[in-house]
Amino acid sequence: MECKVLNVIETGQHGGAGNLVVCEILLMHINDDILDENKKIDPHKIDLVARMGADYYCRASGHAVFKVEKPNLKLGIGVDKIPEDIRNSEVLTGNDLGQLGNVEALPTPKEMEEFNTHEEIIKFNDALKADPANARLARHLAARKLIAAGKVKDAWMVLL
């Protein structure tokens, strides 16, 4: 990137402090290999790295990358409205919770009723009744798979 520095903001004077550099991008040089069929940067083809702190960095790749459709003109329910049992899951990631919190509304009773008539869901619920000790874990694992497949509403219906 070729940039023009607009502002440098000091973040402190002690260990771990740094500077936040605000720039205007003048020109970007992009390798065609990282573009998708629409000539947009594909986040799965580029090796993005984020600075965390101390000696730590992280890669933004694989399951850490998720999509939230834009424009989102309607306000989602928010992560704080997710029931505590789901919000404190040992299975669902922050990305999963972010997608759950982005829904405009929880499924209606009618939607839940219809969802629970599908044969695979009936079998799933019967299996949960047979093993109540592991029901929460099974629901959260199933929801995580649905979220990864882009079926956030179905994930909510499995969780509720």
Q: pTM score, two decimals?
A: 0.63
Q: Cα angle at 37 between 32 and 39, to 5 degrees?
A: 50
What is the rounded CA–CA span in Å between residue 89 and residue 143?
11
pLDDT tens string, the chain, 160 residues long: the values are 999 999 999 998 887 788 999 999 999 999 999 999 999 999 989 989 988 878 899 998 887 887 776 666 778 899 999 999 999 999 999 999 999 999 999 999 999 999 999 999 999 999 999 999 999 999 999 999 999 999 999 999 999 9
What is the rounded CA–CA span in Å between residue 78 and residue 67?
16
Nearest to 97 by CA among 48, 160, 143: 143
The pLDDT score that the predictor gives to residue 35 is: 94
The pLDDT score that the predictor gives to residue 26 is: 97
Residue 100, classed as helix, strand or coil, is helix
The pLDDT score that the predictor gives to residue 86 is: 97
The pLDDT score that the predictor gives to residue 72 is: 63
In this structure, what DSSP letter does residue 108 have? P
Residue 69, classed as helix, strand or coil, is coil
The pLDDT score that the predictor gives to residue 65 is: 84
What is the rounded CA–CA span in Å between residue 114 and residue 108?
10
Nearest to 121 by CA among 96, 145, 85, 154: 154
Residue 155 corresponds to which tokens in the numbers above?
Answer: 């994930």
What is the rounded CA–CA span in Å between residue 112 and residue 108?
6
The pLDDT score that the predictor gives to residue 116 is: 94
Nearest to 97 by CA among 52, 140, 57: 140
